[in-house]
Amino acid sequence: MKVLVRRGDSLWYYSQLFALPLRLIIDSNRAIVDPNRLTLGQEVKIPGYRALPYTIAAGDTFWHISQRIGIPLDALYLLNLPVRPEALQIGQIIYLPQRVTAPVVEGQRNYDYRAMMEDLQRLVEIYPFMMYETVGRSVMGKAIPEIRVGAGDKRVHFNGSFHAQEWITTPILMQTLNEYVLALTNGRPIRGLVMAPYYEDVLLSMVPMVNPDGVDLVIRGAPAEEPYRTFVLALNEGRTDFSNWRANIRGVDLNNQFPALWQREAVRKPPLPAPSDYPGEAPLTEPEAIAMADLTERSDFDRVLAYHTQGKVIFWGFQGLEPPASEAIVNEFARVSGYVPIRYVDSYAGYKDWFIQQWRRPGFTVELGRGVNPLPIAQFDEIYEESLGIFLASLYM
């Protein structure tokens, strides 16, 4: 929602008028060079609100409307500049400030790239303190978005859908993000934890869908575009069911693409493109993996969590390079989720492995849910509740 600055207005006043933390209003208006010096008529974004159209009926006044629906009278004046309250006409359209109190993300559905991008657009519009950046593009040219929320020095990164058939990780992350920003703007806790301090302490980074081409392939089937359609159908032996596909659209497993003992992994994996496990001709040949590596190298993350499926386990070590803090963190993740921590596994060249190797900081591969991939969407609520505890612990640990 947007308002126009009047004489004497300030961002602090807006925070009081709309019952919002001042920090969220400041961060929603980063284009304002000096938050203490607003210009008459300047546009200001108010996070967590929508402008709801309302048709004036007989007997309506701004005062009666504000009393009836429980909104501050001055909020009506502010939102409807330059409407003259004393000259309202029956049938005239005005706007009411409506606080958003319910999620806009509906995660429990077949969640393809288009669904994610539509939800991101809605979230950024309602919560403009969210920072949005395209960090790279897939083989087929789809933007790979990163979202950032928070003002803190502790940098925590989440990602999902490295593997196409593990696409349920994307709506899990998107719904988690929605719950977090909803709690921030409404001042309500999540599982008893007030979120405002974490906004101040943590910079949350999230790439909800690393492999958009692969996710769309699993959910929507072979693309119409060539040469991709012919290529994936041939690689899938003519089958139109791509539910077992883990790779990107070129048949490269993106989580086998990182320079962390890549050669050791490559010698025992398929030597050519395949629906799963092929690590590519060399590390970081694929644009999606390159995008994640570049993002990580410039972001100085303190810890990373890569969401995968399945097994209800959390992998947290690599070659003894993980720091001592990793064990305490993973034990808290296990406590709040019921998942089992596993320090080492005979697997290499993954994103988590590379992060630990390069920075000696905590990195985790979280295997959500249990069953056969792709996990049925009926498991969504259970997985969401388990993963929400991990998300919260990543903020306070």
Q: Given the DSSP bridges, would you call strands 43-45 and 2-4 parallel, antiparallel or unpaired?
A: antiparallel
Sign, Cα dihedral of 29, 32, 34, 37:
negative
State how far the Cα of 235 lies from the Cα of 219, in Å rounded to an integer.
17
Residue pair 30/47 in contact (Cβ under 8 Å)? The answer is: no
> 63 Cβ partners below 8 Å, 6+ apart?
73
Residue pair 288/133 in contact (Cβ under 8 Å)? The answer is: no
Nearest CA-CA partner of 174 in 128, 111, 127: 111
Give the neighbor-by-neighbor strand order of the sheet with 154-160: 131-137, 143-149, 202-207, 154-160, 303-309, 363-368, 313-315, 340-342
Residue pair 196/147 in contact (Cβ under 8 Å)? The answer is: no
Cβ atoms < 10 Å from Cβ of 191: 9
Residue pair 275/231 in contact (Cβ under 8 Å)? The answer is: no
Catalytic-labelled residue, pool 322, 332, 367, 386: 367
How many residues can be counted in the chain? 397
Told to judge if 288 belongs to the known catalytic residues of this protein, a careful annotator would answer no
Q: Is the peptide bond before 227 cis (omega within 30 degrees of 0)?
A: yes
State how far the Cα of 246 lies from the Cα of 347, in Å rounded to an integer.
16
Helices 212-220, 113-126: axis angle to 10 degrees equals 120
Give the DSSP letter string of 92-150: -EEEEEEE--S-S---SS---HHHHHHHHHHHHHH-TTSEEEEEEE-TT--EEEEEEE-
**Active-site residue set:** 367
